[in-house]
Structure 1
């Protein structure tokens, strides 16, 4: 069923040290707005940048009435910056896109067109990822497939944050105030009607990526522990399996003593068994610690972000 065109569209763009590419991004986005029969606006969220990102946002807001900006009080991370933008967006359709031009803003009209078909979320799935190493592509594909198996609400494969959401999908996301935020998982968790839009992802237009393998690994751990208890179950099964093997080995030792006697040997075997059991216990404690730490962080109920300054027609959202 085809619905009427959303009368308003807001584009949320998190930005962290994007001086080299932000004005180029806005030029292409403004050209896209000119082709669309909607009341369009853009919200740039400066996530505590150390360069001239906020100065550029201020200049864009002064010259273009469709531009609004939020400046967070420090670098809270991309997930928090995305949340701040979604909290402040007031439109019938909201697009989430990065400023690095890897996700072409020219695809926004096609995403919105799919939203018109009665969907609540249209997520952009990458057919190809230009400008990335084979190792990066391999690890990324492996992560999405692992999440697909572990999570109770599987995320779409090879899909980043680039997507368009309906008003009720954005309202649902605003109700999720957890501190341990993994937005790709939250987008999938809310449900509603979600469809894929396949596209080719370009290389970064300028500047350097803010994601290294350490931060990506931490994000992967965040995603797994936020949306799956499978690691805890794996630790349980590891403990049970280890106990079963130890019991069987104990029976073997007793039978060997009864049949062949005890020549006081086996020190290497004993050392291996002790190291294996110690390693298994430490790994299980580490998994439990990850979940306990996240629970502790949630119980403090600190705000997800603070807004230091704003520009243009935007009001920071005050959660209930």
Structure 2
């Protein structure tokens, strides 16, 4: 009996890449014996010809090509979650439509699944083609998050992975609004194998990710999977209060013993006040970030809204 593989493909302004992606996956179909393919293209609010290209594939192969189109852009995390909710396969894979996730790795991934792994992920060993500053901060992010979080995240890991139905069902139980899939994939556990590959360029179009989007995405990952920033804020508060208390005692004792002009040193005092005030504002911002996350969770808004589905 054939098993089904659901392929989740988030799309945002990818009209040029979609037909190339579909052809590339269909080319490796003969290498996947006894596997039926189910495509789920998720149009994440694209306003170009992305949806039209997806509909062409649906008309060409209505039994296996499906799609969901959002009412607006909700982000890649929402598209991933939508795909996972709609996938019906015994196995599920997440792939970028720009072919930076090589479809020809799927046969090898299935080999490890058949050996007993619940998930076979991929990680890039190089970042050729990326701006050096982006690569540097990406490496620093993984080093930082693995130091301050109990959830291990593999440097260079991609969303491209092959998962069993059991693992997908576990991920779907995590219905939180603030999603960081790389962390969620690791948090649920299960036996995972990572395959390495060289970075590949996009086959068409331009990436919608820029440095600022990646930076804010990294901040979300830290906030979602670590309370270290709050611990750091508490430590600095205690440390500053202790040092200030000792300094006040020292100043009072020195004044009682030696006397002197009480206005001496007002400049340094103002500088200290401004420094401490800056630290307080910074950590208030950190606390506000966590409170903001709580606020979006308790509103219980839908993660995405589907305008059209087939």
The secondary structure found in structure 2 opposite 1:40 is strand
Q: Structure 2 residue aligned with 1:46, among 14, 33, 43?
A: 43
Corresponding residue SS for 1:201: coil
Q: Distance in 2 between matches of 1:197 and 1:124?
A: 5
The 5 A counterparts of 1:44-83 are 44-64=41-61, 65-83=63-81
Residue 297 (1) aligns with residue 293 (2): no
Shift in alpha-carbon separation, 1:285–1:63, aligned structure 2, 3 A: same
Q: How does 1:254-273 map to 2 (within 5 A)?
A: 254-263=252-261, 264-273=263-272
How far apart in 2 are the matches of 1:112 and 1:50? 35
Q: Does the residue aligned with 1:9 lie in a helix, a strand or coil?
A: strand
Could you tell me how far 1:222 is from its partner in structure 2?
Answer: 0.9
Equivalence for 2:275: 276
Determine if contact 1:47/1:76 at 8 Å carries over to the other structure: yes
Aligned partner of 1:32 among 20, 28, 38? 28
CA distance, structure 1, for counterparts of residue 151 and residue 249 of structure 2: 43
Q: Decide which of 163, 167, 172 is 1:169's aligned counterpart.
A: 167
Measured against aligned partners, the alpha-carbon deviations of 1:228-285 in whole angstroms (never above 9, x if no partner) come to 1111000000101111221222233223323432223101111111101111111121
The alignment partner of 1:128 has SS state of coil
1:17 corresponds in structure 2 to: 13
Provide, for residues 211-235 of structure 1, a one-character-per-residue CA deviation record: whole Å limited to 9, x for no partner: 1122112111111111111110000
Change (3 A) 1:18 1:153: same
Q: What residue ranges of structure 1 are gaps of 5+ in the alignment?
A: 312-320
C-alpha displacement at 1:116, in angstroms? 1.3
Q: CA RMSD in A?
A: 1.4
Cα displacement (A) at 1:287: 1.0
Give me the TM-score of the superposition, normalised by structure 2: 0.95
Counting only pairs closer than 5 Å after superposition, residues 1-320 of structure 1 correspond to structure 2 as 7-37=3-33, 38-64=35-61, 65-263=63-261, 264-311=263-310
More moved, 125-134 vs 72-81: 125-134
Is the contact made by 1:41 and 1:67 (CA closer than 8 Å) also made in structure 2? yes
Q: Would you say how many aligned residue pairs link Structure 1 and Structure 2?
A: 307
Q: Distance in 1 between matches of 2:249 and 2:219?
A: 39
Cα contact 1:71–1:307 (8 A) shared by 2: yes
CA distance in 2, matches of 1:309, 1:34: 32
- 247-256 or 231-240, larger mean C-alpha shift: 247-256
Instruction: Please give the alpha-carbon distance, in whole angstroms, between the structure 2 residues aligned to 1:39 and 1:222.
Output: 36
